[in-house]
Amino acid sequence: MDNSPQNVSGYGTGAQAALVRNRVLRNTYLLLAISMIPTVLGAWVGLQSGINRVMGSSPGFSAILFLAGAFGLMFLIERNKNNSLGVALLLAFTFFMGVMLSRLLGFVLGMGNGAQLIMFAFGGTAAVFGAMATIASTTKRDFSGMQKFLFIGAVILIVASLANIFLQMPALMLTVSVMAIGIFSAFLLVDLQRIINGGETNYISATLAVYLSLYNIFSNLLMLLGVLGGDRD
């Protein structure tokens, strides 16, 4: 795809840039919607095959598998973002993330109100997405300067999560979940604004960024709901 400024059929460079932005945004939302299918399928496979119970019995190994698989696939996606293989790798990545999510889903579904909590988490994530999309498309403020601090925050979250595998501190787990919701909501805002303003011209990279934020918001919101509002009777 040629994104260089040019005059086409009477369109000026401004109109051409708007067409590119709209195409990237449309393709991003479409691919994001499609990516939910392998995510759900992966979660179902994880629950039905018992992989979620295996991961629950070995949290340390699960964390290593998650980091290796996620970062490995993300690297491959970025390497192939300009060809059709990038789409296939992205869908494989979302399937993998669904499998990894099955451990948390199995934990929550074991509660009396588990299905209701999942719907609440889904609704909350959708509300965050709607709010961030509205802000990103209406405000004139540039949020790109937040990226450095958000990246540092994400690294701290990873380190704290890994440490808590051994520390097993409920308070730390809740703190990490609350921080993760805030940090990835801000990541979502930054990424959506970049896409809307034309700063991201590759819809595969854009979809990956938005998907990661939504995944982390949903999983940490579900964790909070499960711990604080779960019916264990």
Whether 130 is covered by a domain: the verdict is yes
Q: What is the DSSP letter of 83?
A: S
Q: Where are the beta strands (DSSP E) in the chain?
A: none
- Whether residue 216 contacts residue 121, with contact meaning beta carbons closer than 8 Å, is answered with no
How much is the pLDDT for 5?
39
How much is the pLDDT for 119?
96
pLDDT along the chain (233 residues), means of 10: 39 69 92 97 95 87 91 97 95 97 94 93 96 93 91 94 88 94 96 91 95 97 89 66
Q: What is the DSSP letter of 4?
A: S
The CA R_g of the chain, rounded to the nearest whole Å, is 19
How much is the pLDDT for 228?
87
Handedness of CA 141, 142, 148, 150 (dihedral sign): positive
Whether 3 is covered by a domain: the verdict is no
How much is the pLDDT for 232?
67
Domain limits for position 120? 13-229
How much is the pLDDT for 3?
40
Domain count, the chain: 1
How much is the pLDDT for 4?
40
Whether 4 is covered by a domain: the verdict is no
Whether 209 is covered by a domain: the verdict is yes
Whether 66 is covered by a domain: the verdict is yes
Whether 7 is covered by a domain: the verdict is no
How much is the pLDDT for 19?
85
